[in-house]
Amino acid sequence: MLFKTVINLQDEEGFTPLMWAAAHGQIAVVEFLLQNGADPNLLAKGRESALSLACSKGYTDIVKMLIDCGVDVNEYDWNGGAPLLYAVHGNHVRCVEILLESGADPTVESDSGFNAMDMAVAMGHRNGTLSSCPR
């Protein structure tokens, strides 16, 4: 039982070991933590999630693992973004595709009023992943 408590221990900013592993692309660590009771739905103080951290860096395998655990693909944080917006901002096309296939809402707007399509256009991303999304 102690291990289950420690595995979800949050630091002063609310980050868990799972969040740190997701943010740094540590696939084996993420898998280990999830298999041993890490809660993928916990949020840090700024409402950052393991999913948004993985999306911001384009770690597709971690994104898939977290989605398979049932995390909310539309969780909005206090930094003004959602996982899809972070993936678009980083031009992480495969993450964008995975999120959209998993139900991410392309109409969610950042605090600055940009949705995923607007952001992709503004940043000059030309892959076309969002071209079929409703505006």
Which domains does the chain show, CATH number per domain?
A: 2-122 (1.25.40.20)
pTM confidence score: 0.85
pLDDT of residue 34: 96
Q: What is the pLDDT of residues 78-120, one digit of tens each?
A: 777 899 989 988 899 999 999 999 999 988 877 777 777 777 7
Q: Give 85-88's long-range contacts (Cβ < 8 A, gap of 24+).
A: 85/110, 85/114, 85/116, 85/119, 86/52, 86/55, 86/56, 87/55, 87/56, 87/58, 87/63, 88/116, 88/119, 88/120, 88/123, 88/125, 88/130
